[in-house]
Structure 1
Amino acid sequence: MRIGFGLPVSGTWATPERLGRVAVAAEHQGYDSLWTFQRLFVGVDQQVDPVYRSVLDPVVALAFAAARTQTVRLGVAVINVPFVHPVYLAKQIASLDVLSGGRIDLGLGTGWSDAEFTAVGADAERRPARTREFVSVLRTLWRDDVSEFDGEFYTVPAGRMHPKPVQEDGVPILLGGTVPAALRRAGEIADGWVSRSAHDLSQIAKDIELVRAGAEKAGRDPEDVRVVCRGSLFRPGRDFLSGSWEKIREDVAWLATQGVTEIFYDLNFDPTVAGPDLDPEAAEARAMDILHNLTPRGLS
């Protein structure tokens, strides 16, 4: 089981100084990865969790962390496909992969906020088909010397995009999703699947079965598909991934038996860390305490 940590991107603890300190501390303590997420816009009358009220751009935050670290992987879970063009994102992520020395993982989702769809002028229809084309465009731009694509949603004339990502075959792509078709699609066309913050982790084995079934149907080795779990620590109303350090470690060990290959602890969903009205110094102190006590290496 590989263990990562969510960067401070939401609420009052999401400052440049704290983002840098958390990134450096997590790398020093042996965490395998650092993660961000996307939230563009909140409608004035929209009822959302406090975590979504103020969120840094995920790619900019990763670039900031990349400049302060050397070896830890950097991921976003997730960028929503309808909100950005794949050619633009391909250039952005390839550049970040080059500048970070080949450390990027790209998670993609389909979006859920009506306010965001309206604000960016995106179409919420036929998102599964759009996602398939989106991934195909990224693949050809990252892998092929001459790229070209002619689809229903995207058209890329014959041409070249350079520089390519440092990572062989391009940046790994993870797909989000919860319904059976989305889970199978992740196994079929992506390098793995990433769970959402509200996912029922007690049932995750059934979801992983669907992901790996999709991989098998596509002629891929199901065991090669990554399963990345967002571990929303100390989330209100939930016992899983809450309690003592020993209890959390036991929960993580159980997830490994269910087929999870990676987890990242995300404190952006802990109201005592990422609330919009918290004392940022107290939030950082709590976050650092959690980071040190759950370190993969057991360092002090």
Structure 2
Amino acid sequence: MLKIGLGAPQYGRFANRSALTTCAVAAEDIGYDSLWVGDRVLLPENPRDAYPGGGPVPQAYRRFLDPIATLSALAHATRRVRLGTSTLNAPFYSPVLLARSLAGVDVLSEGRLDVGLGLGWSSDEYQAIGVPWEGRGARLEEMLDVLEKAWADGPLSHEGALWSIGRSFMDAVPVQRPRPPLLLGGFSPATFERIARRADGWVGVGLPVPMLSQVVTMMRQGAESHDRDPRALRIVVRVNPQVTPDAAPEDQVPARGTVEQVAGYLLAAHEAGADEVLVDLQDTARDTTEFLDLAHRFHETLREG
């Protein structure tokens, strides 16, 4: 059965307590299966890197709530929906502190956390944070090692190229054992290989359906080559549409289109292998009322489909 996720209010005009809690509670009542947060640190006035998917970086990103703080608020406001990150830019963080923070969210949500990690796209953010842009893939690889060790039973120790951790204890581990589901984002061959080898799934975006089908097949075949169950890989597809009252040209869907057009794409993505679809309405909705109206319409259309 298709799982349906919603981007949690977190940025732009929705970056406030009232919008977050009102929409989170309503989304759970509507029947959404999950709520997801993103990770943006700052918006450069003159970005050095192109925004993924083309076009300018949304100006709403200038006001962006911290993802861990937002997850903690969601854990308090909801009781049933799963809470995910799509995605945390993993190299921005210390792996030990990230392990502690994410374990805390899993404890506070009573085991509802899905951890989506990526590499980000903005070298400006890396520079501002003080983390090297080069070698970010290897940095993520070692971070995964540390996270798994920190969340395991017993003492933590690690010796790697970037981090050295003497024998220590971190007993505030996640509720979910052996760890929360670990999903990775990205489109490079290295990302797909890493997912096939050691992750629980992929957090992707709205690729053309034939390409999406090829990517899913490639990852599942890769998992099988590593003696893992290919059917266990979880595929989540995210769209950030500009929802329009009138139909958009088909070549603009799902980036732009009516509720029916975007939902039609998401149903096709499900047929192509997506287990869960995620729609972020913050680029379209002008206020909480419109946000929830669109959320109702998307959920109803997807369920009927």
Q: TM-score, normalised by structure 1?
A: 0.89
The question of whether the paired residues in 2 share the 8 Å contact of 1:187 and 1:193 is answered with no
Distance 1:156 1:213, change over 3 A: farther
State percent identity of aligned pairs: 36
Aligned to 1:109: 118
1:159 alignment counterpart: 168
Offset from partner CA, 1:240-271 (integer Å, 9 cap, x none): 27544443333222111111111111113x2x
2:143 to 131, 134, 141: 134
Residues 1:104 and 1:241: Cα distance change in structure 2 (over 3 Å): same
Within 5 A, what are the aligned runs for 1:54-73?
54-73=63-82
- The equivalent residue for 2:227 is 219
Contact residue 96 and residue 104 of structure 1 kept, 8 A = yes
More displaced 10-residue stretch of structure 1: 114-123 or 181-190: 181-190
Provide the secondary structure at the position in 2 that maps to 1:263.
strand
Distance 1:206 1:54 in 2: 36
Counterpart CA distance in 2 for 1:298 and 1:119 is: 43
CA apart distance, 1:80: 1.1
Q: Do 2:10 and 2:37's aligned partners in 1 also have CA atoms closer than 8 Å?
A: yes
2:30 match:
29
Alignment-derived partner of residue 99 in structure 2: 90
Aligned match of 2:261: 247
- Find out whether 1:295 has 2:273 as its counterpart: no
Instruction: From the superposition, tell whether residues 50 and 133 of structure 1 become closer, same or farther in structure 2 (CA, over 3 Å).
Output: same
Deviation at 1:233?
2.6
Name the amino acid aligned to 2:287: A
| 1:235 Cα offset (Å) | 6.3
Alignment deviations for residues 50-72 of structure 1 (CA, whole Å, 9 cap, x no partner): 24222111111111111111011
**Matched residue, 2:50:** none
Q: Which residue does the alignment assign to 1:192?
A: 201
C-alpha separation between the residues in 2 aligned to 1:119 and 1:148? Answer: 30
Equivalent AA in structure 1 for residue 17 of structure 2? P
Q: Give the corresponding residue for 1:257.
A: 271
Report the TM-score when normalising by structure 2. Answer: 0.88
Shift in Å, 1:44: 3.0
Give me the whole-angstrom Cα distance separating, in 2, the residues matched to 1:241 and 1:227: 19
Report runs of 4+ in structure 1 exceeding 6 Å deviation: none
Match of 2:214 among 202, 206, 217: 206
The 1-side partners of 2:221 and 2:136 are apart by: 21
How far apart, in 1, do the equivalents of 2:209 and 2:184 lie? 17
Report deviation, 1:184: 2.1
Task: Tell which deviates more after alignment, 42-51 or 17-26.
Answer: 42-51
User: What does residue 155 of structure 2 align with?
Assistant: 146
Residue 49 of structure 1 deviates from its aligned partner by: 2.6
- Does the 8 A contact of 1:241 with 1:251 survive in 2? no
**TM superposition shift of 1:199:** 4.5
Say which SS state the counterpart of residue 172 (structure 2) adopts.
Answer: coil
Q: Secondary structure of the equivalent of 2:14?
A: coil
Uncovered stretches (5+) of structure 2, i.e. residues with no partner: 48-55
SS in 2 for 1:119: helix
Partners of 2:222 and 2:158 in 1: CA distance = 24
Letter in 1 for 2:227: G
- For structure 1, the residue ranges without an aligned partner over 5 or more in a row are 274-281
For CA contacts below 8 A with separation 6 or more, give which structure has more relative contact order.
Answer: 1
Aligned residues: 288
Deviations 1:261-285 (A, max 9, x none): 11111113x2x32xxxxxxxx4222
8 Å contact from structure 1 (residues 180, 207) kept in 2:
no
Could you tell me how far 1:32 is from its partner in structure 2? 0.5
Structure-2 change in CA distance of 1:298 and 1:217 (3 Å): closer
Distance in 2 between residues matched to 1:37 and 1:45, nearest whole Å: 22
Q: Secondary structure at the match of 1:169?
A: coil
- 1:77-117 deviation digits (Å, cap 9, x = unpaired): 11112210110000000011111100111111112212111
Structure 1 residues 3-12 or 139-148, which shifts more?
139-148
Instruction: Note if 1:124 corresponds to 2:140.
Output: no
